[in-house]
Structure 1
Amino acid sequence: MARYVGPQCRLCRREGEKLFLKGIRCDTVKCAITKRKYPPGQFTWGRGKLSKYGIQFREKQKVKRYYGILERQFKNYFKKAERQKGNTGENLLMMLERRLDNVVCLLSFASSRKSARQLVLHGHITVNNKKVDIASYLVKSGDIIKPKDDEATQNIVKANLELMKGRNVPAWMQLRVDTLEGQVIQLPAREDISAPAQEQLIVELCSK
């Protein structure tokens, strides 16, 4: 599958805000947004004002980059969100928030979503004591997420928990550091989602 492998900080600069793609580095003075808060590339001063379509498009790109998904995946999520009851934009964000790679990152088992995806794909994470190596797996209420019972894996997770010690776990999940165990207490609501997104703009774009 195609995957962006270029500089992560370039994506944040393009969207004009922190997407926390490099974990703890994003909270330091080394963050690219802190040093160069302008889009990458030459002649950025000559770029005009964004059109209405441009604003909607950038909002969609921002969400895709925040969660690390591709265009086809995004379209599939949007179609599912449309078929569900309720607000389409909120349904979309709640599905993306429930992805296993995102949950592993929010539990601080990994320092970034990219690292979390790697942990999942390499089979280091279990859900309800069963190995799950699909990053797009959607967690459900009551699910228990743990690293597999392997010394090397657990040492990686412990190191990340220590590194990200100041990070708060969202209210819809619970973390037990002593047993290296996270649990989904309930499905996330819109107010629980920290993604920098205006979902209505995305719905307007994708509904055309």
Structure 2
Amino acid sequence: MARYIGPVCRLCRRERTKLFLKGERCYSMKCPVSEAVTDRHSRAYPPGEHGRDRMRQGSEYLAQLREKQKARRIYGVLERQFRNLYAEASRQPGITGENLLRFLELRLDNVAFRAVWGASRAQARQLVRHGHVLVNGKRVTIPSYRVRVGDVVALTQKAKELYVVRRNLDTVDRPLPPWLEASADRFQVTVASLPKREHIDEPVREQLIVELYSK
């Protein structure tokens, strides 16, 4: 299964905003685009030899492209899969951009991330790939698996004892979205409803993505 395995901090620098791809590091002063970093040490400009030269204002197409790339990188989806999701979203009734974000939110790795089992989506994806996540009692190892309303997503007994999972539940300050309901021990979540646009807090302007793919 194809995935991006390169340095992720350069992705945030390219988008010139925090994408929160690396867990705790994104909240520390080690983050290269952190507002807490002094101007002298800040690297809040695109990566590469000519990164500083690419900070000028761009065109309308560039804004649309950057918004699409930002959404892809936040959710860890490559171009072909993202384009297929958009094609499916455009065929569904409703607003295409909201349908696209809803499909991304219902991915199994994102549900594991929203349940705070992983500090980042990459870590949540690894939990799924290693067989630590159950859907309705059955082991599912496909991160792109799309959950449905009423599905029960839980951790295996072995995963409940993992130090990293317990530490994330104790230390990561991330509220559970309204469309998920957690059990008392937080090792199990139920998809109570479909995510609405106001429940998705990612800084994505989906209308620009629709305009890009509609050309």
Query: Under TM normalisation by the shorter chain, which class is it?
Result: over 0.9
RMSD of aligned Cα (Å): 1.3
What's the counterpart of residue 118 of structure 2?
110
What's the counterpart of residue 179 of structure 2?
172
Deviation at 1:167, TM superposition (A): 1.5
1:155 aligned onto 2:161 = yes
What's the counterpart of residue 137 of structure 1?
145
* CA offsets 1:143-167 (integer angstroms, 9 cap, x no match): 11111122xx212222221231x21
Deviation at 1:51, TM superposition (A): 1.1
What's the counterpart of residue 23 of structure 1?
23
| 1:48-197 alignment runs, 5 A limit | 48-150=56-158, 153-156=159-162, 157-164=165-172, 166-178=173-185, 180-197=187-204
Q: Which amino acid aligns with 2:181?
A: Q
Deviation at 1:24, TM superposition (A): 2.0
Distance, in Å, in 1 between the alignment partners of 2:170 and 2:108 is 21
Return 29-38 or 18-27, whichever deviates more. 29-38
Describe the SS at the equivalent of 1:12: helix
Q: Which amino acid aligns with 1:74?
A: F
Describe the SS at the equivalent of 1:82: helix
Describe the SS at the equivalent of 2:93: coil
Q: Which amino acid aligns with 1:6?
A: G
Number of residue pairs matched?
Answer: 205
Deviation at 1:69, TM superposition (A): 0.5
Q: What fraction of aligned residue pairs are identical, expressed as a percent?
A: 52
Q: Which amino acid aligns with 2:24?
A: I
Deviation at 1:49, TM superposition (A): 2.2
Q: Which amino acid aligns with 1:125?
A: V
Gaps of 5+ in 1: none
Distance, in Å, in 2 between the alignment partners of 1:43 and 1:135 is 35
The 8 Å contact of residues 45 and 52 in structure 2, kept in 1 or not, is answered as no
Return 2-11 or 192-201, whichever deviates more. 2-11
Q: Structure 1's 30 and 45: CA in aligned 2 closer, same or farther, altered over 3 A?
A: closer
Gaps of 5+ in 2: 35-41
Q: Structure 1's 135 and 174: CA in aligned 2 closer, same or farther, altered over 3 A?
A: same
TM-score (norm 1): 0.94
What's the counterpart of residue 37 of structure 2?
none
